[in-house]
Structure 1
Amino acid sequence: MDATTILAAIGSLVVLLGAAARLPAAAAEVVRACSVLVQAIAEFRATVRRAFATHPDEENGKAVSTPQSSAEREGVGTVVPAAGEDAGDSKVSAKPGHG
């Protein structure tokens, strides 16, 4: 082995060790990014399930879909008959039963 080969081997070793030292940090970043992705996918799946879930309606036994927006879940903008009125004389209420 001549001096040039030895110097090339030492240089290569320095480059490889420098790259190897950065691998654990890069691998940790990949794992962190994947965990955020997995959490986002789980949240998306839960949202889709809530959006398309059905439950039996207690009044008539039909399956109805759950409310699609937070306003619908809160009852904002729903038509609720006021006390002493029938359904034909209803008005819009901010919350169900607060007409």
Structure 2
Amino acid sequence: MKDYIMALHQRFCKEPECWEIKQQISEAERDLQQALDRRGQEQLLKLADLENELHDQISLESFLSGFKLALGIAAELAPSYSFDDDEEQRACQALQRRRGE
């Protein structure tokens, strides 16, 4: 189920471009890499990876919440099928035809 939701997320959830913010992030990362030693750069990369993973999880959970909400709304709006109601309607129609003959 999670794979299916992830596929739906990839298809329907488009991330905003945010070019200015991405450029600012790149500049800040470049400045930090120049200022940090090797150990600091490794920690910075680990932090960035964890932040990306968190972002992906939040995005997927947000999409899933919206999907569940949409399913709930659709279920409320769609008339539900009932075999008994269908049979009763057919019987009424058959009775009306017989009376009309």
Give the TM bin, normalised by the shorter chain: 0.3 to 0.5
Q: Which gives a bigger RCO, structure 1 or 2 (Cα 8 Å, sep 6+)?
A: 2
Which one has the largest radius of gyration?
Answer: 1
What TM-score do you get using the length of structure 2 for normalisation?
0.43
Greater percentage in strand: 1
Q: TM-score, length-normalised on structure 1?
A: 0.43
